[in-house]
Structure 1
Amino acid sequence: MARTPLFRQVRRALRLAQRSLITGESPSELVEKARHPLSRRRFVGLSSAAIATVALQGCTPIFRRSSDEPVLIIGAGIAGLSAGYRLRQAGVPVRIIEAQNRTGGRMLSLRNYFADGQVAELGGELVDTNHVHMHALAAELGIEFNDLAQDDPSKEEVYFFGGQRYSEAEVVEAFLPVARRIQAALEELDGDGDVTWADPLNGERLDRMSIAEWFDGAEVTGWIRTLLDVAYTTEYGLEIDRQSALNFLLMIDPEPDPVGPFHIFGESDERFHVRGGNDRITQALAERVEDAIELETRLEAVRMRSDGAYVASLRRGETAFEASARHLILALPFTLLRQVQLDLELPPVKRRAIEELGYGTNAKLMVGFSDRLWRTDYDANGATLSDLPFQLTWETSRLQDGDAGILTNFTGGDHGVSVGRGSASEQATALVTDLEQVYPGIRATREGMREARFHWPSHPWTLGSYASYLTGQWTGFRGEEGRPVGRLYFAGEHCSPEAQGFMEGGLETGEAAAADILSDMGLPSRLARRPLAGTRI
C-alpha cells in the first residue's frame, strides 16, 4: 500500500515498467491505459460486498452481558476507541486510559483556520478503496467520504528533478532496468508468501541490506535513483540507508499477470477523505464510550498479579494509582510502550519488536494560497515529488469549496526532523521559495494566507509518525507486533500486517483485539479475528 499520492504513482510507474518488460508495450502506451481511474461503478462492484461483510461485524449490539470487570484499554486513538466501542456493543464494560488531553491519536483535523472554511489534516489524511474497515465504520456512524477520484483527471502529478519536469512515461522508461533487477532479486526468496520472522522465506540477506546498498549493487543511478530515494524517504519516513531493502523489493508483484487486470488503483489509491475531517470518526467513537475515557492519565508500568490479572500503574498529574483487569489492550505506539516498565513474561521476539521497531520521522506543513495556481497555470494537481529540499507536496484542498488552496508538504527522514525547527512561517517561506522553481508565480499567491505545522517526530505522545522497518526487521520480528500474549493484546497501525502506517491498520487491529477478547470470554461476535501477517503490497 501507499501512504502518499505520489508514492502510489511511483509504485504504478514501477509496475508499468515491469508490465512493459512482460508485454512489450511501450511505456507511453501503458501510461495512457493507466490514466483512467477506477470508476465509481467499478468501485462499488469491487468493494461493496467486502464493506458489507465488515459492516455486519457490529452495527447493533451483538450480545448484552452484565459484568463488573472492565477490559482495560491503554490509548484512545482509533485502535483503542474502536476496541472499546466494539466491546461495549457486546455488553462488555471497558476503561480507556489516554495520556493526552484529547482523544483521536494521529487522527487530528484542523478546522476554522484556513481560507474558505477548508479543512486540513495534521495526521492521517487519505483512505484507500480497499480500506474496508474504515468504509464500513464510517457507514455505520453515518459519516460520508469525499471521493477524490472526482477530481479533474487532466491535472497531473509533477516529477521535478535536476531543474526539469519529467513525464510519467519518462519515469516508467527510466524504471525499466530497475524493474529487471527487482525481478532478479526476488528470485532469491523461497516462494511468494509472506516474509515474517517465523517464515523468512530465505529473505534474511536482502533484509539485512539497506535500500541504499541494494541500489548501489543494482547500479541504480542518476535522477531516477534520486526520485526513488525521495519517494522512499517520504513514504516510510526514514533515510534509505536505514530502511530494509525489502521495503523496496516487495512493493510490486513479483509475477504480475501479463493479460489479466493490472492492479494499479484497486490496491492503493488514496481516493477518499472524510467529509469535514477524518477525526469525525474518532470523535464519534469517543462519544459512544465517553463515560469510560480517562484523559491525561499515563501508563508507567504493567505487572501480572498472582491470580493472573494485569495490574497497570497509572499517573494523573501528581497522583499515582493502579487499575487491574483480566484483559488488557495496549493500543499505544511502541515508541511509547518501550518507556513503560513491563514486568511480564514476554517472548524475546516480542520484547525485541517493542524495543527496536523503527518509526518514521514524517512531519506535515500545510500552506495556504489565495488560488490554486498549480492547476490554473500548470495543469498540475498539486502532487509534486522533487529533489528540492521540500521533497513532496499534495493538494489537501481537492474538492473543497472556495478558490483558495492548501498544499501539504509531507517530509521524512532528516528533513522531516529539520521541518520542526524555527517557526511554521519560516518553514512555509522556505517551501514557497522552492516551489517557485516548479510553479513560477506561486509566491505571489501567499500574501495574507496562513500555514500550520505538526511535527510528529517530536510530539511527546507519538515520538514518530508510523512504523517503518529498519534493516533486519522483516525477518527479525515482522508478524509478532500484534500477536497477543495470554490475555495481553496489542493494537495500533504498527500491529497491522496489511495496513501498517494507515488509519485502517489502527482500526482493523483494534477491532481484532476486541474479537479476540470476546472469543476468550466465550461471547458471540461477528468481528473478524486477528489476521495473520500478510504481504505489504
Structure 2
Amino acid sequence: MPSGLPSALYGWPGLCCIPLKRKNTDRCPASLASLIINHHEDSKAPQLALVASILGLAASLDWKAASNLNPFEKCMEDPDYEQLLKVVTLGLNRTLQPQKVIIVGAGIAGLTAAKVLSDAGHKVTILEADNRVGGRIFTFRDGKTGWIGELGAMRMPSSHRILHKLCRSLGLNLTQFMQYDENTWTEVNEVKLRNYVVEKMPEKLGYDLSHRERGHSPEDIYQMALNKAVKDLRTLGCKKAMKKFNRHTLLEYLLGEGNLTRPAVQLLGDVMSKEGFFYLSFAEALRAHSCLSDRLRYSRIVGGWDLLPRALLSSLSGPVLLNAPVVAITQGIHDVRVHISTSLQSRSLKVLTGDLVLVTASGPALQRITFSPPLTRRRQEALRALHYVAASKVFLSFRRPFWLEEHIEGGHSNTDRPARLIFYPAPDEGALLLASYTWSDAAAPFAGLSTDQALRVALKDVAALHGPVVFRLWDGTGVVKRWAEDPHSQGGFVVQPPSLGHGDEDYDWSFPYGRIYFAGEHTAHPHGWVETAVKSALRAAVKINKHWSRVPSPEKQAILHRLEHIHVSEDVQQQEESPEGHVFVEAIPQVQEHITVETITPGKGHVHVHHQNIPSHVHEKVFPDVHGHVHEKVFPEVHGHVHEKVFPEVHGHVHEKVFPEGHGHRHMHEKVFPEGHGHGHVHETVIPEGHGPLHPGGHRQMEPGSQRHRHMHSSCKGGGGT
C-alpha cells in the first residue's frame, strides 16, 4: 500500500476508490475527505493539490488491479463471468436443432433466457402466473403526475457489467443512482445529525465506542473488523475460508474475530442497515456488502426499471401466457409436459408439451409445483433451505420536494424508527418519496398494517426528520408494496443463514434435472440483485444450447432409447427413495373437465388473447415447423379425435391421442399413468442429478396397462403455481 494513504482507501470491497459524485466533492473515505477539507480550510494549496492528485490516481485504478489487492473480490468472482458477458454481447451460436423450450416465469431470468434462446433459433413459450411480466422488477407510475417509484429493483452497481450491457443492447438509457448525499440525516437514540458529521464522528450519535473505533466512519469500522477475515483468506485459501465463514453468523464474527465492541456493532446495525444481516452466514454477509455500500457507484434505468422487462418482451417472437400458474411438470422419455391451472371463470386445464423446461419461479412458488418423477432428496432439501426475507417499500406523494430546501439531492437518510431508510429522488424526478425501505426483521413493523396505516407510520417518521411541514405537504396518497405478501414471490430476496450439513457446500442449481433446468436469483450469487438472475438465465441458456443442439439426432435418439429400459413403479401410499435409487411416485389424478380455449400469441411487445367458444378448434402458429407453419390445435374443442401436429415426429405428423375430445369432454388415451384392472401402475426411476435424460445408465419403461377411455376434469390438482 502506498505510504500516506488511509487504509480505508484500499480496504474491502475495493470499490470505494470509484468516485461517487457529490455536490462539490467526490465521494471518498471520510478520513481522506476530512483531510481535503482541513487543507482547504487552512488554505494550504500545495498540499491540497497533492492530495487531489493522489485521489485522482486512486480513482483511476483499474478494477482488475484493485481486485489483485483484494482477496474478497477474488473469492467472489464468477469464473464464467467473461463468458456470460460474451453471450450478452454476441449471443449464442445458432442452433441446428431447435428445441421446444417452455419457460416457467416471466421475471427477468425467464425473459432473458427466452431472448437468448430465441435468438439462437429455439422455439420458446413463457408461462407466467401473474398478470404482468417483470417479477420483482415493478415500477409504480402515477397517472396524474407522471412520477415513478420503484417497488422492486431500483439500482445496479457499476461492477454489474453484464446487466449494463444487456440494458444498452436493448436501447435503454442509464443514469446515476444517488446512493449517498452528505446532507441527508441519521437519527438514532433521538439524536439527529447530518451524515457528513456521522462520517467523521459517529460517537456523537450516543454510541459508547472504544478509543480505536472513535473518529472513524461506520464503513471504516466495518473494514477494521474484516482484518482477520483477510488473514484467513490468505492463509487458508478462498474455498476453505469461505467454508469457515459459512458456519458463523455476521454478528458472531463482528463480536468475536472482528473484535468490535457491542456499541460499534449496534452502530453498524442502525446506520449501515446491517441489523437485517446479523443472523446471515458471514460468507453471505460478505457477498451482500460487496454490492451494497455507500461507497459504490450505482446506475438506474431512465424512465423506470420496468422498461427492461418490456424491452425483453418486445424482442421475443414466441408466445407469452399470463395468468398461467404451473402446478405440475411431468417428464417422459421423449418430452416434458407442463400442467397449467387456469382461472375458475374459464374452468379449464391446459397441458403444454416441449422438449425442455426452464423453471425460473421463486423458491416458494417452486415448492408448489408437483414434479414427476419427484425431485431428488438433495434438491428438495436445497429448495426448502432457501431463506427468503421480507422486503417492504412505502412511497408518499408530496406537493413539492421539500427536501431540496435542505440541500438534499438524493441518497438516503437513516433512522431507528420503523421507516429505517428514506430514499430521495433526483431533483428532476418529482416529489414521490420512498419514505420507507425495510427488509428482513426490520420489515416486521409494516406487516399486517392496512395501506392507510402503513402510509401514516412512514409519514410520521419522515416528519421526525424533516419537521411538521411534512404533514402539510403530503397530498394524502401513496403506495405500499410488501413482497412477503406477494402471492408469486412470497419474499423480497434470498439470504442464507449459516449452512448445515453437506460439507457446507452451496447447492449447484445449474445442474439440470433430466429435461428440467432451473434459474433465478435464488440459484446464484450474490442474492438479491437483478444481475444475479440474469447470470443464472444465461448459464441455463448456454447449457441448453450446448447439450441439446449439437448432439446428432441419431445419436440422441439412440441414447434416449436406452431410457426405455428403466422400470417404473408407483406406490400411492409412500414416497421415498429405495436403496437402488428408485423413487415411488404418485400418479396425477385424472378427472372430468370442460374446456374453454384461451390462447395467447406473441406480438411486438403485446399479448393477444383469443377466446374460443365450444365447439371450435384453434389454428395457432405457436411452434412453426422447419418446412412451414403449423396449424396448431393445442387445445382443440371438436367432436372427435385430434390430428395433432404440435410436435411432429421425424417422419410426419402424429395422430395424437393424448387429449382427444368427445362431445365437450376430454377422453384420454393416456399411457403415462395408465389405469388397468390391477396392472396399470408405473415404475419410475429418479433422474440422476446433473446428467439429464442422456445419462447412459438411466432408462425408463412405461407399462401399457389398459387403453380404456377416462373422463378427466383436470390432469393435475393443487393450487399455487408460479
TM-score by length of 2: 0.58
Instruction: Give the drift of 1:231.
Output: 6.2
Residue 63 of structure 1 is matched in structure 2 by: 94
- Partner Cα separation in structure 2 for residue 87 and residue 520 of structure 1: 13
Contact 1:300-1:313 at 8 Å conserved across structures: yes
Q: Distance in 2 between matches of 1:425 and 1:363?
A: 15
Other structure's SS at 2:349 match: strand
- Is it true that 1:244 corresponds to 2:281 in the alignment? yes
In structure 2, relative to structure 1, the CA distance for the partners of 1:348 and 1:289 (3 Å cut) is: same
**Contact 2:245–2:281 under 8 Å retained in 1:** yes
Equivalent residue letter for 1:464:
G
Counterparts of 1:178 and 1:58 in 2: how far apart (Å)? 37
The yes-or-no answer on 1:209 pairing with 2:248 is yes
CA 174–383 in structure 1, closer or farther in 2 if over 3 Å, else same: closer
Partner of 1:324: 353
Amino acid at match of 1:82: T
Q: Which amino acid aligns with 1:304?
A: Q
Q: CA deviation at 1:277?
A: 0.9
In the alignment, the residues of structure 1 paired with residue 469 and residue 423 of structure 2 have an alpha-carbon distance, to the nearest angstrom, of 15
- Alpha carbons of 1:181 and 1:78: their partners in 2 closer, same or farther (altered >3 Å)? closer
The aligned residue for residue 8 of structure 1 is: none
Name the counterpart of 1:22.
none
C-alpha displacement of 1:250: 5.9
Q: How does 1:112-511 map to 2 (within 5 A)?
A: 112-113=142-143, 115=145, 117-148=146-177, 155-164=182-191, 165=193, 166-171=197-202, 173=216, 175=218, 179-185=223-229, 187-188=231-232, 194=238, 199=239, 201=240, 203=242, 206-217=245-256, 220-221=260-261, 223-230=263-270, 239-240=276-277, 242-248=279-285, 268-269=296-297, 271-289=298-316, 291-305=318-332, 307=333, 309-317=335-343, 318-344=347-373, 346=375, 348-377=377-406, 379=408, 381-395=410-424, 397-402=425-430, 404-472=431-499, 476-497=504-525, 499-511=526-538
The Cα offsets for residues 323-360 of structure 1, whole Å up to 9 and x where unpaired, read as 33332211111121122223346554432221111112
Q: Is the 8 A contact 1:18 1:180 kept in 2?
A: no
1:448 aligned counterpart, secondary structure: strand
Report the CA distance between 1:516 and its aligned residue: 1.3
Listed one character per residue, the Cα deviations across residues 29-88 of structure 1 (whole Å, up to 9, x for unaligned) are 33458999x99xx899979xx999937645678537574x41111111010011111111
**Match runs of 1:17-56 below 5 Å:** 28-32=30-34, 54=85
Measured in 1, the distance between the counterparts of 2:84 and 2:248 equals: 40
Whole-angstrom distance in 2 between the partners of 1:110 and 1:400 = 17
Structure 2 gaps of 5+ residues are 1-7, 17-27, 38-51, 65-80, 203-214, 552-722
The 8 Å contact of residues 172 and 308 in structure 2, kept in 1 or not, is answered as yes
Letter in 1 for 2:485: S
- 1:124 is paired with a residue whose SS is coil
Alpha carbons 1:158, 1:380 under 8 Å: kept: no
Larger Rg: 2
Contact 2:419 2:435 in 1 (8 A): no
Structure 2 residue identity aligned to 1:414? D
| TM-fit CA distance, 1:394 | 1.1
Q: Are residue 72 (structure 1) and residue 102 (structure 2) matched? A: yes
How many residues are matched? 477
- Compute the displacement of 1:189 (Å): 5.5
TM superposition shift of 1:183 = 2.0
* TM-score between both structures, scaled by the size of structure 1: 0.76
Structure 1 residue 294 displacement after superposition = 1.3
Structure 1 distance, partners of 2:60, 2:147, is: 27
- Give the 3 Å change call, closer, same or farther, for CA 321–62 of structure 1 in structure 2: same
SS of residue in 2 equivalent to 1:146: strand
AA aligned opposite 2:174: F
User: Which range moves more in the overlay, 482-491 or 202-211?
Assistant: 202-211
- Quote the Cα distance in structure 1 between the aligned partners of 2:295 and 2:550: 34
Q: Is the 8 A contact 1:481 1:495 kept in 2?
A: yes
Measure how far apart 1:447 and its partner are.
Answer: 3.0
* Counterpart-to-counterpart distance in 1, 2:472 and 2:388: 35
What secondary structure is seen at the aligned counterpart in 1 of 2:246? Answer: helix
Q: Of the candidates 126, 133, 136, which is equivalent to residue 96 of structure 1? A: 126
Q: Name the structure with the higher helix share.
A: 1
2: CA distance, partners of 1:266 / 1:364:
19
Using the TM superposition, give the Cα deviation of residue 286 of structure 1 relative to its aligned residue in structure 2, in angstroms: 1.4
The alignment partner of 2:157 has SS state of coil
Q: Against the structure 1 CA distance between its residues 249 and 443, is the aligned structure 2 distance closer, same or farther, given a 3 Å change threshold? A: same
Partners of 1:494 and 1:156 in 2: CA distance: 36
Identity of aligned residues (%): 19
Please say if residues 16 and 30 of structure 1, whose CA atoms lie closer than 8 Å, have aligned partners that are also in contact.
no
Q: Which amino acid aligns with 2:281?
A: S
Asked if the contact 2:91/2:116 (under 8 Å) is kept, the reply is: no
In 1, Cα distance between the equivalents of 2:314 and 2:367? Answer: 30
Of residues 76-85 and 321-330 in structure 1, the stretch that sits farther from structure 2 once superposed is: 321-330
| Cα distance, 1:432 vs structure 2 | 2.3
Shift of 1:16: 9.7
Give SS of 2:410's match.
Answer: strand
SS in 2 for 1:409: strand
